[in-house]
């Protein structure tokens, strides 16, 4: 039987396929309870703290609502309001917060920072996104895939279009390799993932029956795909000056209706969000004015289409974060 009590959740690489599947199934249980209005205040009396060095909508709100539904007290610390990183080291922050709280969420830049928190805090630490990985998103994403392919997700063709070096490209490649999906990374040669991580994933595939391949041909990638996934072209923490270069490099990899037409007839579109599928945001409008484009990584048509699962996926963040906290704090 799977027992994750006391474990931190800083990257999916630390977990076995059995443990990952357990968390996905537990997320489904919490989703069913929430839908049925069944109370689940299983962690009453515990307290958690959420440390954010970057902005967030889904991750912060998921941890807050999940924490409250489980009966816990929740403290949110925004990028400017704690001593961490400015006056106090990560190591000292970890040792202090570990005395107050039963669990710590961290969203920041360096993966080594979340690992250090986990090593020093003495309580479970959950990675709410770093430049390298976004592991809580993976449980929500694989739950979403499972909901749409209930007969099994092993063997599905899962294509990620875009910046293969970012946290989402890395994390999805690991998740697919652990769970036996066929991951296809489709992007320009300049934005391929680190070879070391690719080698690790290929090893995992020998066990799981999955595969990892790369192409810069979007049509070949989309052909017969079951899941088409993309992410923003410039990630949090990257300089705004990168937009010009990224638009030039990544425009051929926009997920369009034409690409969706090449995929399997039951294919779904996914995106972790936030997304620039239109220009209804300040940054989106800025880019439209500067570069004359109104859509970036995905066309508005695909984002709004029947095949799009992006809001189920967003909802699933909350259920899966609940599962991760429950499994590690129980």
User: Which of residues 31 and 60 has its CB atom nearest to ligand NVA in the complex?
Assistant: 60
Count of C-beta atoms within a 10 Å radius of residue 49? 24
Binding string, residues 262-291; x marks residues near ligand NVA by CB under 6 A: ----------x-------------------
Q: Is 272 an annotated catalytic residue?
A: yes
Compute the least distance from the CB of residue 163 to ligand NVA, in Å.
7
Among 113, 231, 295, 313, the residue binding ligand NVA under the rule CB under 6 A is: 231
Q: Is 317 an annotated catalytic residue?
A: yes
Give the integer Cα–Cα distance in Å for 66 and 307.
28
Give the integer Cα–Cα distance in Å for 20 and 280.
36
Backbone torsion region of residue 162, taken as left when φ is above 0, otherwise alpha when ψ lies between -120 and 50, otherwise beta:
left
Q: Is 231 an annotated catalytic residue?
A: yes
Catalytic residue among 113, 131, 137, 246: 137
Instruction: Name the residue number minimizing CB distance to ligand CP.
Output: 59
Q: Tell me the Cα Rg of the chain.
A: 19
Among 10, 27, 166, 211, the residue binding ligand NVA under the rule CB under 6 A is: 166
Catalytic residue among 176, 231, 271, 309: 231
Does residue 137 touch ligand CP according to CB under 6 A? yes
DSSP string computed for 43-112: TTT-EEEEEESS--SHHHHHHHHHHHHTT-EEEEE-TTSSSBTTTB-HHHHHHHHHHH-SEEEEE-S-HH
Give the integer Cα–Cα distance in Å for 193 and 221.
17
Compute the least distance from the CB of residue 58 to ligand NVA, in Å.
7
Residue ranges at the known binding site: 56-59, 83, 107, 134-137, 167, 231, 235-236, 272-273, 317
Give the integer Cα–Cα distance in Å for 144 and 27.
10
Catalytic residue among 7, 60, 102, 134: 134
Among 51, 117, 225, 232, the residue binding ligand NVA under the rule CB under 6 A is: 232
Residues contributing to the site for ligand NVA (CB under 6 A): 129, 166-168, 231-232, 235-236, 272
- Catalytic positions are 107, 134, 137, 231, 272, 317
């Amino acid at each position: 039987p799977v027992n994750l009590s006391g474990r931190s959740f800083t990257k999916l690489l630390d977990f076995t396929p059995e443990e990952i599947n357990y968390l996905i199934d537990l997320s489904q249980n919490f989703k069913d309870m929430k839908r049925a209005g069944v109370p689940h205040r299983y962690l009453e009396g515990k307290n958690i703290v959420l440390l954010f060095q970057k902005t967030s909508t889904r991750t912060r709100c998921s941890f807050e609502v999940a924490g409250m539904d489980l009966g816990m007290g929740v403290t949110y610390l925004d990028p400017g309001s704690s001593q961490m990183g400015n006056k106090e080291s990560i190591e000292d922050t970890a040792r202090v917060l570990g005395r107050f709280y039963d669990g710590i969420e961290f969203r920041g830049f360096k993966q080594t920072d979340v690992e250090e928190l986990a090593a020093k805090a003495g309580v479970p630490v959950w990675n709410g996104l770093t430049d390298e990985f976004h592991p809580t998103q993976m449980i929500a994403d694989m739950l979403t895939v499972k909901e749409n392919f209930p007969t099994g997700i092993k063997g599905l063709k899962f294509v990620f279009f875009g910046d293969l070096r970012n946290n989402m490209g890395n994390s999805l490649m690991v998740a697919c390799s652990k769970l036996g999906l066929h991951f296809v990374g489709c992007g320009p040669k300049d934005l391929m993932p680190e070879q070391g991580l690719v080698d690790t994933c290929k090893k995992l595939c020998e066990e799981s029956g999955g595969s990892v391949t790369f192409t810069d041909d979007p049509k070949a990638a989309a052909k017969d795909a079951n899941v088409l996934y993309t992410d923003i072209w410039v990630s949090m923490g990257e300089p705004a000056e990168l937009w010009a270069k990224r638009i030039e490099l990544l425009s051929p990899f926009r997920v369009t209706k034409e690409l969706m037409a090449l995929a399997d007839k039951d294919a779904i579109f996914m995106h972790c969000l936030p997304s620039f599928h239109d220009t209804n945001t300040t940054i989106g409008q800025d880019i439209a004015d500067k570069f004359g484009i109104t859509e970036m990584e995905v066309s508005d048509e695909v984002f709004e289409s029947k095949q799009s699962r992006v809001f189920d996926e967003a909802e699933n963040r909350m259920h899966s974060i609940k599962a991760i906290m429950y499994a590690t704090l129980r």
